[in-house]
Structure 1
Amino acid sequence: MKIYHLSHTDLDGYACQYVLDFYFKNCYFYNSNYGKEINENFNVIFKNIEENLKENPNEEFVILITDLNLTLSQCEDFQKAIEGKKIKLLLLDHHQSGLECMQKYPWYFLDDKRCATKIVYDFFSRCYGENKSLSEFVDVVNAVDIWLSEDKNFELGKVLLGMVSGAKEINRVMFAQENIKYLFHLFDVCRKYIHQKNAHISLDNDLHSLKKSFFKKENDDTLSNLISKFVVERLSINKEKFSVFYKGSKGLLTSNIGNTSVIGNDFLMQNPDFDFFVDLSSRKTLSFRANNKIDVSLMAKNLVNGGGHKNASGGLFVAYKDSSNYDFIKAQFIDLIKSKELKENNENKS
């Protein structure tokens, strides 16, 4: 049996997955905000299930959704999708806005007196056994998520809440699994503070070093440099997945990677088989970088009426629709290139 777990992108959402990872090691984690991201992730999950069924037609699946309330139309679509298949669907949530869905669908569980992490822990601990240390961590998450301001764990929970909301070091669209591992690492070390005096202050003081401990391998460096090195390494390992082509030149496409000048230049220096580097942001901006192999100012001008310098240019991709799924993002950029190539070919023929 394989478990596909879709959860929210905040402390409570990731902590739900942390709890599930404690009990099961055959889980595939996905994270989503509300709205269309839920549908995008659900479609990706089903695509992966179909691929798994090709290899093992007898495989059984569980789709667990936590800390996300669905609309009635989403519930109806998901219900139809699982009918007749060896798929069990379970939603564990605490948002009162999901009450109407809970009343209609038996797989939709709602309890607004506990955070989603506590609901998940209570559910699986009854089946597979309690764990004191994990339960204490869950109580910290619960205290801040449902805002129990008089609870002894509340202040520590506030630090964890800020820690997760500020954990932008690893891009969750480009490196979803690495982002999960990073947050799980932070949860692991945070649990050691729970019984300390003034735990919230100690954790707040140590957080910078705790973040560095995930990225540091041999030599110490600034957190920024360690992150850049990590990102370039991951991009290099997965470069074929992220590769795109423009007029015979090979490039790498990222999404909201940040620090584009440093990361783009470092990647091109370490991967001479690539000619250009492009980052597409949620604001629809395109940042082009090169290392004297291609004039990206001409590329930016041709694709989006942008411009700049030979090795550093930019532009606005007006028609771009932001997504939490890299494949959807890449498909739009490839379509942009193809549409420009088609237009040029038609103009040359005429």
Structure 2
Amino acid sequence: MMLYHLSHIDLDGYGCQYLTYRYFRDGKFYNANYGAEIRARLDEIVLDIKESDFPDERPLILITDLNLSMRDAEWLDEQINFIDAELLLLDHHISGEVSASKFDWYMLDISKSATAITYSWLRESFKFDVEGDYLTLVQAINAIDIWLSRDRLFEVGKVGLGMISGAKEINRILFPNEDRELKLFLIEWMRLYTEIEDGHIRLDSDLHGIKKEFFKDDKDDTKDNLVAIFVSKLLSKSRDRLTIKYKGYKGLLGYSLGNSSILGNRFLVDNPDYDFYMDISYRGSFSMRSNNRVDVAKIAEHIGNGGGHKNASGGKIRDYRDSFIYSEIREFIQDYLNRV
């Protein structure tokens, strides 16, 4: 069975995916915050299924730790018939009660966290974790998510909650898979600390070093430097899908990455066939870098009423339209550059 798993972007949401990934190794994973992003990710999943082939069995769309509006639930119920997919939603938010009462695929249990619900489903459906290796992790996430402050694992759950909310080193819109890998890596470490005395204190103390282990390659450095090297390599590896063009010049478009002086200049040194680097924020403001191949101050002035220096500039694009899907952001910027 091919799994398409959409989940929330907090500890509980990634906790669900930590578990399903251990059974559905070849599954496809997606994440969304509440609101409009849910529909954007569902559109993405439906399109991915339409473009795939399943000769043996129907794919399964699993949604966890997210409640659907009635409108989105009705839309999705129609879509699964068109794409011949199974659908299961495991939720614990009382706001999903109306939708849950209408659809048999909408499983609501407000007494426990989504991670605990997902764990029970995996055990009952697939004989998952018969040795109980993940039980203390599930209990820790459950304790913090539904606020069982007297639970012995509540404090380690609290550290885990901040651990995931603070893991912003990789932009999840630009690099969703790598961002998720970081968070599942951290949750695996959290699991180990649920099994030792004063695990919450030790996890809190060790977290900086744990993050460095994820980003470290063959040489140790400060975390900031390791992250910059890691993200720069991702940009080079992904450059084909990030490429934009302006009046014959070739550039790379980042999204809300920040740190343009380091990331932009490193990318341009590693990719000398590129003329400029551009990083745009969700508000439409942008920064640009070049390595003596084009005057980005003039470009910024022309496209965004900005300016700066020949190799470093910035501005803002009027009427910028943001998106949860990077390809749509890139398409908007490329169309804009073609027009101005």
Q: Where does residue 125 of structure 1 map in the other structure?
A: 123
The SS at the match of 1:203 is helix
Q: Which residue of 2 aligns with 1:286?
A: 286
Residue number in structure 2 paired with 1:158? 158
Following TM superposition, by how much is the alpha carbon of 1:60 offset from its aligned partner in structure 2, in angstroms? 2.2
Task: Say whether 1:63 aligns with 2:68.
Answer: no
Which stretches in structure 2 are left out of the alignment for 5+ residues?
A: none
- Residues 84/332 of structure 1: CA separation in 2 closer, same or farther (3 Å cut): closer
> 1:256, 1:281 within 8 Å by CA — same for their partners in 2?
yes
2:255, 2:281 within 8 Å by CA — same for their partners in 1? Answer: yes
Shift in Å at residue 266 of structure 1?
Answer: 0.3
In 2: Cα distance, 1:317 partner to 1:148 partner: 47
Inter-partner Cα distance in structure 1 for 2:239 and 2:195: 44
C-alpha contact 1:133 1:191 (8 A) present in aligned 2? no
Measured after TM superposition, the shift of residue 304 of structure 1 is 1.6
Identity of aligned residues (%): 46
Letter of the aligned partner of 1:83 in structure 2? N
Mapped to 2, the partners of 1:323 and 1:58 lie a distance apart of 35
Partner in structure 2 of residue 108 of structure 1: 106
Aligned-residue RMSD, C-alpha? 1.2
* Contact 2:7-2:32 within 8 A present in 1 as well: yes
Instruction: Tell me, yes or no, if the aligned pair for 1:296 and 1:312 is still in contact at 8 Å.
Output: yes
Task: Describe how 1:140-159 pairs up with structure 2 within 5 A.
Answer: 140-159=140-159
Give the superposition deviation at 1:59: 5.7
User: How far did 1:77 drift?
Assistant: 1.0
- Is the 2:3–2:60 Cα contact (8 Å) retained in structure 1? yes
CA shift, 1:283, in A, is 2.6
For 2:9, the equivalent position in structure 1 comes to 9
Deviation per CA, 1:175-221: give whole Å up to 9, x if none: 11111111111111221111222111100000000000111121110
Alpha-carbon distance between aligned partners in 2 of 1:133 and 1:318, rounded to the nearest angstrom: 53
Deviations 1:55-82 (A, max 9, x none): x566621111111111000111111111
1:74 aligns with 2:77: no
Q: Which runs of 5+ in 1 are unaligned?
A: 341-350
Q: Aligned residues, how many?
A: 338
The DSSP-based 3-state class of the residue aligned with 1:253 is: strand
Q: C-alpha deviations, 1:211-256, integer Å up to 9, x for none?
A: 0011112111000000000011111111111100001010000111
C-alpha distance in 2 between matches for 1:173 and 1:162: 20
CA distance 1:19–1:239, change in 2 (3 Å): same
Aligned to 2:63, the other structure's residue is in SS state: strand
Distance in 2 separating the partners of 1:105 and 1:253:
42
Q: What TM-score does the superposition give when structure 1 sets the normalisation length?
A: 0.94
For 1:344, the equivalent position in structure 2 comes to none
Report the Cα distance in structure 1 between the residues aligned to 2:72 and 2:314, rounded to whole angstroms.
38
Alignment of 1:196-345 (within 5 A): 196-340=196-340
Compute the displacement of 1:306 (Å): 1.4
